[in-house]
Chains A and B, each alone.
Chain A
Amino acid sequence: MKKIIQVILVIVIPEIIIFSIIGSYNPDKVLMPFDNTKIQRVVKDSLPADHAKFAELQKEFKTGQEVTEACIKCHTERGKEFMQTEHWKWVKIDTTVSGEIVELGKENVPNNFCIGINSNEKLCSKCHAGYGYKDKNFDFTDQNNIDCLACHDNTGTYKKSKSGNPAPTVDLSMVAQHVGYPNRDNCGSCHYKGGGGNNVKHGDLEIAQNSCSREVDVHMASKSKDDLNMECTECHKTHNHKISGNVYTLSTSNESRSSCTQCHTAMPHKSKILNQHFEQIACQTCHIPTYAKVNHTKIEWDWSTAGEFRNGEPYHEHIEISEDSIREYGSKHGSAILARNLTPEYVWFNGNSKIHMFQDKITESPLVLNKLQGSYEDNIHPANSEHPSKIYPVKVMRGKQIYDYNYKTLIQPHTVGPKGSGAYWSDFDWDASARTGMEYLGLPYSGKYDFVSTESYWLLNHMVSPKEESLTCESCHSRDSRLANLTSFYLPGRDKNAVVELGGILFLILVVLGVSGHSVLRFLSKKNN
């Protein structure tokens, strides 16, 4: 009896104490964690002016320019102010990685969706915040050409059509009398529809977000009473028409960013370890685990297959490949793949990127149109400690587009125009399209074209999931890691050394074999005696 008591006191009780501490002690707690409910929201005027009562707006407007003229009668300086911004100019002054100062924007940067606006302005300017941008001769100095209504219409009825002019069905005076702060509808009327349709381009910006639930987008949700129902301008802070938050496909330098830390600070977690991850992982990586949650987005666009007719006529078809993906073919556009509920790909990014222009020589395949700069090694001696490299989630758009075989440069195809103009969507002739497009740009065309594979990287910032859906440790720290192709560093849980692993397992097998063999022999020899 005494022996058992001794054993219990000396061994059992200490183990129980020690292991209950080991199993439960959690030192990973932030002393004063950040409280999301303390974030200050933008406070708007409770009683904005009622524009329906203004005399200036009590008339029949025949054109968009007439409306703008009326706006400027009171908002006298806003026109000049707006004309400095890239929503108007469609270019922005930027600094490249090598220090060169350039002008970059929708006006001159190629992408692998509709490729470029030059010679196609009539259609592309449906998303220009101006009236009449139908070719390169558009008067960027005339204030009356500004489209105030696209952003400030609060009726939800305003629509634009060819050359950016208001659609004929729009009641311009009604719209003019009900202007206000831009809401999701305003921004979304263009930014949701890039690439030729809802959610085609970004994957994380689409019309469903105008009235969605928390699960789709925590910030833009508006379905239930507690939803945040945030407007775009709450994150994309605007001052004097300068809107923050550059898109990475059109800019090279790490300026004017809109970031999570604006409201959430750099230490928003209750866990110290999660806060430490901030040093090398962007917020978006864990908090946007899926994109294109409601509607499909385009992930592949092959222009080279365009031009096939059916029964002598151009045609268009959708074939469902699976529940979440669709194969599309159109004679005008070629073949494409649309998909939803997509898992992002992950890259190192320090905020700078290299933009490929029409004049640049193509030296690799696939051609990366906006090479995101950054790497793991960057952080060891960061070029700029303000902007270290971090892992970000991206949508990769893969395409195949036309290029000049001899000059090895991208071609600006002429797609929008009447029959006989060389526009591809009317004439279905790549050679003519290339010739007229490059002529319009004032750049040479050798006469020989082919198609090159391209990639562009679209950082995901919207469709933030609720924190219950955010990535878990195992999403990256496991053999089946989301970061499988970022191999320049050792990630515990994912990586191992083949020699150590094989050697270790072989060693254990040998030990087990030795032990079993030895015990069998002992057992047999005892039996013999």
Chain B
Amino acid sequence: MKKVYIYRRFERFWHWTQTLIILTLALTGFEVHGSYHLMGFQKAVMIHDNAAFAYMGLLILIFFWLFITGEWRMYMPTKKHIFDQVEYYIHGIFHQAEHPTNKTMFNKFNPLQKGTYFALDFIILPIMVASGALYIFFADSLMYHNGYALEPIAYVHVAGAFLLMGFVIAHVYLTTTGYKPLSAIKAMITGWEEMSDEEAEVAVRENIRMLMRFSQRKIMNADGVEDDSMFDESLSLEIDHTKAMMIDFQKKLKESNVGYFKINKDGIYVEVNDIWRELYSKTDVGDPVGQDYRLNRKAEDRKTVETVFAQVLKGKTITGSIVARYNSDGTKSYHTISASPFYENNKVAGMEGYIIDRG
């Protein structure tokens, strides 16, 4: 489990302020509606009006920030993966399936969220603000003096209130569908979201890629033309940094009894760790570095590893496959393998992964 930074300070401030304001508006609003009696009609109206004006101020800040930072793009609805997402929520989630989409700092929302938040921010909230403003100023407005009734404004406002309440209930529940039930809520407070190692890696890579793109666009040479060469340099710096993180991985790997291997795109072993050597010590493979990855396998077993290698080179991450190794005394031992591609210069440069002995 890793933590990745997703939510910035302004976003968190905006989210919680909005939460409290909406709850205040709901509590006082339904009292103004006559549904119950808590603090008295006069106080309910006063607080509702104050909260409404505070909310309008907040919304100005929010929309300003959304447009200036480009975050508005994240809210645009999309059809990509939308059915995968629906299928996850109504089926996959009960079978511990993986999320079909990944959460990164630059793409926080799955397609269902995009659709919902778009409807909320650009359709429902503006309607509520408009109907609310007309409601407050109705008596002085031209509408009243020309014989229009308050009914339609009131009905729209109340209907929107019910919709928002339904959203709040569903939203709070859906925040529990993260890595762990409280992950998403903690994330919205601290900014760091817990996710599985694989998801974290995807997130970090995505972040790096996006930040790279931003920097790339902003580098120009003396002629005022965008320059890619500096881009390469900064990219390799990043990759070195990633490598350093990997070495950190390795250390931890050693302590965990997991065998590690690295195979280049030509299928030749480049690196293995001590645990790997230990697991293969009963075979007569010897030092794998420089050898073909299929080693001494025959028939089915050869096919298995070939399939895995092919898929990983295409960019897929494989977990849980079972692979055989041939021992000197003719018996076979099995280990579980998980492997993923590694990159150099933005291209797949080979396969690396871990093996765990099964006996």
State the A residues within 8 Å of B (CB): 3, 6-7, 10-11, 14-15, 18-19, 21-23, 25-28, 273, 276, 279, 377, 380-381, 472-474, 477-479, 489-490, 492-497, 500-501, 503-505, 507-508, 510-512, 514-515, 518-519, 521-522, 525-526, 529
| Minimum CB–CB distance for B203 against chain A, Å | 19
- A18 and B14 CA atoms in complex are apart in Å by 12
With a cutoff of 8 Å between Cβ atoms, the chain B residues found around residue A26 in the complex are 46
With a cutoff of 8 Å between Cβ atoms, the chain A residues found around residue B21 in the complex are 18, 22
Q: Which 9 A-B pairs have the closest CB atoms?
A: A504-B162, A473-B41, A525-B94, A490-B150, A493-B34, A515-B173, A511-B166, A22-B50, A380-B147
Residue B69, interface by CB 8 Å: no
Task: Report yes or no: A496 in contact with B34, Cβ–Cβ below 8 A.
Answer: yes
With a cutoff of 8 Å between Cβ atoms, the chain A residues found around residue B47 in the complex are 22-23
Task: Report yes or no: A22 in contact with B41, Cβ–Cβ below 8 A.
Answer: no
Closest Cβ neighbor of A24 among chain B residues: B50
Task: Report yes or no: B151 in contact with A497, Cβ–Cβ below 8 A.
Answer: yes
Complex A-B: 7 CB contacts under 8 Å: A474-B40, A477-B32, A490-B150, A492-B154, A497-B154, A500-B162, A525-B93
Select the residue from B40, B94, B95, B146 with max chain A CB neighbours within 10 A.
B94
Residue B165, interface by CB 8 Å: yes
Closest Cβ neighbor of A276 among chain B residues: B139
- On chain B, the number of residues with a Cβ less than 8 Å from chain A's Cβ atoms is 52
Tell me the dominant secondary structure on chain B's binding face.
helix
Task: Report yes or no: B16 in contact with A489, Cβ–Cβ below 8 A.
Answer: no
With a cutoff of 8 Å between Cβ atoms, the chain A residues found around residue B135 in the complex are 492
Closest Cβ neighbor of A19 among chain B residues: B20
For window 11-33 of B, CB contacts with A under 8 Å fall at 12-13, 16-17, 20-21, 24, 32-33
- A382 and B9 CA atoms in complex are apart in Å by 55
- A529 and B176 CA atoms in complex are apart in Å by 18
Known: A21-B54, A380-B146, A493-B32. 10 other contacts (CB 8 A): A15-B17, A18-B17, A472-B42, A477-B41, A478-B34, A489-B149, A492-B32, A504-B165, A511-B166, A518-B89
- A508 and B158 CA atoms in complex are apart in Å by 13
Indicate whether A519 sits within 8 Å of B46 (C-beta atoms), given known contacts A11-B16, A14-B13, A493-B41: no
Indicate whether A14 sits within 8 Å of B17 (C-beta atoms), given known contacts A22-B24, A380-B145, A508-B165: yes
With a cutoff of 8 Å between Cβ atoms, the chain A residues found around residue B163 in the complex are 504, 507
State the B residues within 8 Å of A (CB): 9, 12-13, 16-17, 20-21, 24, 32-34, 37, 40-42, 45-47, 49-51, 54, 89, 93-96, 135, 139, 144-147, 149-151, 154-155, 158-159, 161-163, 165-166, 169-170, 173, 176-177, 189-190
Indicate whether A478 sits within 8 Å of B37 (C-beta atoms), given known contacts A15-B17, A380-B145, A521-B94: yes
With a cutoff of 8 Å between Cβ atoms, the chain A residues found around residue B173 in the complex are 515, 518-519
Task: Report yes or no: A529 in contact with B96, Cβ–Cβ below 8 A.
Answer: yes
- A41 and B260 CA atoms in complex are apart in Å by 102
| Minimum CB–CB distance for B15 against chain A, Å | 9
| Minimum CB–CB distance for A383 against chain B, Å | 15
| Minimum CB–CB distance for A314 against chain B, Å | 52
Task: Report yes or no: A497 in contact with B155, Cβ–Cβ below 8 A.
Answer: yes
Tell me the dominant secondary structure on chain A's binding face.
helix
Task: Report yes or no: B34 in contact with A477, Cβ–Cβ below 8 A.
Answer: yes
- A496 and B157 CA atoms in complex are apart in Å by 11
With a cutoff of 8 Å between Cβ atoms, the chain B residues found around residue A380 in the complex are 144-147
Task: Report yes or no: A10 in contact with B13, Cβ–Cβ below 8 A.
Answer: yes
Closest Cβ neighbor of A473 among chain B residues: B41
Closest Cβ neighbor of B41 among chain A residues: A473
| Minimum CB–CB distance for B292 against chain A, Å | 39
- A474 and B47 CA atoms in complex are apart in Å by 16
Task: Report yes or no: B34 in contact with A494, Cβ–Cβ below 8 A.
Answer: yes
| Minimum CB–CB distance for B96 against chain A, Å | 6
With a cutoff of 8 Å between Cβ atoms, the chain B residues found around residue A511 in the complex are 166, 169-170
Closest Cβ neighbor of B167 among chain A residues: A511
Task: Report yes or no: A493 in contact with B166, Cβ–Cβ below 8 A.
Answer: no
Closest Cβ neighbor of A515 among chain B residues: B173
| Minimum CB–CB distance for A95 against chain B, Å | 28
With a cutoff of 8 Å between Cβ atoms, the chain A residues found around residue B9 in the complex are 6, 10
Task: Report yes or no: B169 in contact with A508, Cβ–Cβ below 8 A.
Answer: yes
Closest Cβ neighbor of A280 among chain B residues: B139
Closest Cβ neighbor of A526 among chain B residues: B96
With a cutoff of 8 Å between Cβ atoms, the chain B residues found around residue A529 in the complex are 96
Task: Report yes or no: A22 in contact with B33, Cβ–Cβ below 8 A.
Answer: no
With a cutoff of 8 Å between Cβ atoms, the chain A residues found around residue B147 in the complex are 377, 380-381
Closest Cβ neighbor of A478 among chain B residues: B34
Task: Report yes or no: A10 in contact with B33, Cβ–Cβ below 8 A.
Answer: no
With a cutoff of 8 Å between Cβ atoms, the chain A residues found around residue B20 in the complex are 15, 18-19
| Minimum CB–CB distance for B314 against chain A, Å | 30
- The one of A6, A377, A472, A479 in contact with B34, judged by C-beta atoms closer than 8 angstroms, is A479
With a cutoff of 8 Å between Cβ atoms, the chain A residues found around residue B13 in the complex are 10-11, 14
